Amino acid sequence: MSTEVRQFTVQHDDDGVRLDRWFKRHLPQVGFATVSRWARTGQIRVDGKRADPADRLSAGQVVRVPPGGDTPAKGGAKPRRELSEEEIARAEAMVITQDRAAIVLNKPPGLATQGGSGMKEHVDGLLDAFAHDGPRPRLVHRLDKDTSGVLLIARTPGSAAFFSKRFSGRTARKIYWAIITGVPSVEDGLIDLPLAKQPGTGGEKMMVDKSGEGQPARTRYRVLDRAGNRACWVELQPLTGRTHQLRVHMAAIGHPIVGDGKYGGPEAFLSGSISRKMHLHARRLIIDHPDGDVIDVRAELPEHFANTMANLGFDEEDGDALPEPYKPGKADEKQAAKAHAKQVRKERRGERRGRAEGRVATRKPPTKRGPTKGKGSPKPAAKKPGPGPAPKTGPKPTGKR
């Protein structure tokens, strides 16, 4: 238990957050009831002044936290898993860049992002390698198991909330490289096909939904180079974030991603020395940083993808010229607004839930009220009709004009 007064400087990724929410992010062991009591007794100070749990913080402010309040929850805190030296080395080998807010990894193909049924090895299970003495880093987006490339990890709860808003608001720009079979007739196009879970697959497979009830899904593609009519190298930008979106969309237009037998079937494989692994790589990510800068990072190709590029005569340097930014239409703006509103509602539900947990139930004394209408209550007495309006005076009409 902490026995000394603590001072914390509010970072940029916590700018505008409520004080009680700040405690939940950075000192989750301090319950809402304790925060409320400290605030009532003036023990919590922001820039030397008394503060209320509902007050919003600004970057650069200093929060004074009194000693104590570190009693662990019932059952104890969940212990962190001890990683082997080999696992720590594997995690560190994936790092492209890192700072106080983010860790950017180059995820290899074949490694799942998150655990599932029978899934023992995954990125999420290796994040304790970056925890050290601070909070455990957390995922803010996903890549399929067989997709390689840029994967952003938030180092703190505040940066996780910041990055999550950028992904849900579609302001993060994700650029993928893929090798596909054949060559599209339109070399720079937009695929706009709604997606839904395919019945009978337990949600493990998606499909194009022609009923009109699927989730909107849009992908921009651009041909970078071609190997005759056999295959081509494309750049893909998902403008929405549906499960398996890029894979389903490319298969739907008749050009599945090489190695994607799940959606392309036998036609997704090329003969000769071309690897049967999936050729989909998250090449680049451009996203705002909590400090006001921009993260713009690229991930090197995995070995099988680089070998295929060489076999087909493609040069990586031809692919990193950034295309013109996609200009969202009204449908995109509406979708982004809905996503942002959903995120705001989710945060507010969390805040209300936290307040409810710390609130002491009180009963107000009954107040005197007059008789209410309902069964058994006397009806109000009918009003007696009063005298009507006074008759108009003046000459009687004669009928002649």
**Half-sphere exposure of residue 210, counting CA atoms within 13 Å on the CB side?**
1
Angle at 49 between CA 46 and CA 55, to 5 degrees: 55
Contact 180, 349 (CB under 8 A): no
Strand order in the sheet with 49-50: 6-9, 62-65, 45-46, 49-50
Catalytic status, residue 144: yes
Which DSSP helix (H) or strand (E) runs through 175? strand 173-181
> For the chain, how long is the longest CA-to-CA vector?
117
Query: What's the rounded Cα separation, in Å, for the pair 105 and 98?
Result: 9
The contacts found for 358-364 with CB under 8 angstroms, 24 or more apart, are: 358/31, 358/32, 358/33, 358/35, 358/36
The catalytic residue among 13, 144, 146, 260 is 144
Which DSSP helix (H) or strand (E) runs through 238? strand 231-238
Give the CA distances from residue 156 to residues 32, 103, 126, 303, in Å, rounded to whole numbers and listed in that order. 20, 10, 16, 32
Residue 154, SS3? Answer: strand
Active site residues: 144
